[in-house]
Structure 1
């Protein structure tokens, strides 16, 4: 005999999206040239961009959502590895040069293109989010390879837009659920 069960667990998507959105916006305000990397960005990278996204990914895994679990856990790990890259030189580890950082960011760009392709069978907001994130990673890689502050500033503005799209998506998911109707279209 098969008994149906109902999943009463919360949707982890907004947590992961807000973790990504807010950390991405703040780092890219830095990339656009408004302030240096500081303890606020490092804290956000560890706990909200890294930790909260990773937790959201585990929760998505529990729900059987392959895309959500892989995306949130991977991008949570991205934030954690990025912060380690910044902090490791304080422990005597050689600082990452522009070429190595360009390779790191290129790999994340390629991974993001794989995720973008998956969003082509979904809502427009996902296409905009992963499309802009792909562009962001490749611009960041180019800025590191070329040691170009101009490319970095352009990447910063793309990152602010990308993070804002994720912030909108998280907001829409929560608000639409609370009101039981589409208030913010996806």
Structure 2
């Protein structure tokens, strides 16, 4: 039996990416929030990333553990923020307080971005654009600006799509044993499947 462990990062990346794209299609103003977004947030964006975080722990990847567990549980918390008021469990969160929530996630993501600087360029873009997304969404809630919210939606679609790209690149590049989809690997050191496996 081989001792090699599979790379769990593509699962975490694709679940994060697809769920982020769907939520931000809503933020961009195309569709209202629906049960589809809530279900994706709980199951794929949330549960799948938590599973991946556990697998990254098994691999000894602190960055991957922290990123996937955090963003998986972010999705759960976001969905609960939406459904608790509808269930009568708690009052709806005031927009300014929601802005504080998003600012904290933006700060966390900005710190995590610095953990990607020795990794590939696509991973850096994902974390950099995700930090921007959180701050734009916070600005929307602080100001009530629909324009900022729409801008955040389009930016979030790009962020989610970049995570989907990296997921498929890692799967296909490993499957074929060569670079099928480039990700901008660092030139100084070969980090194949050993770079921080995020988000």
TM range (shorter): over 0.9
Q: Which runs of 5+ in 1 are unaligned?
A: none
Structure 1 position 112 matched with structure 2 position 109 = yes
Aligned equivalent of 1:79: 75
Q: Deviations over 1:149-173 (max 9, x none)?
A: 1101000011000001000000000
Q: What is the aligned partner in structure 2 of residue 127 from structure 1?
A: 124
Q: 1:8 maps to which residue?
A: 4
Q: Could you report, residue by residue, the CA deviation over 1:81-109 in whole angstroms, capped at 9, with x for unpaired residues?
A: 00000000023210011011100000000
Partner of 2:29: 33
Question: What corresponds to 1:46 in structure 2?
Answer: 42
Higher percent of residues as helix:
1
Once superposed, what is the RMSD of the aligned Cα atoms? 1.1
Q: Does 1:165 align with 2:157?
A: no
How far the C-alpha of 1:6 sits from its partner, in A, is: 6.1
1:7 Cα deviation after fit = 3.7
> Deviations along 1:31-69, whole A, 9 cap, x unmatched?
000000100000000000000011001100110000011
Give the length in aligned residue pairs.
Answer: 182
In structure 2, distance between residues paired with 1:172 and 1:181: 10
Q: Unaligned 5+ residue runs, structure 2?
A: 184-199
Runs in 1 of length 4+ with deviation above 6 angstroms?
Answer: none
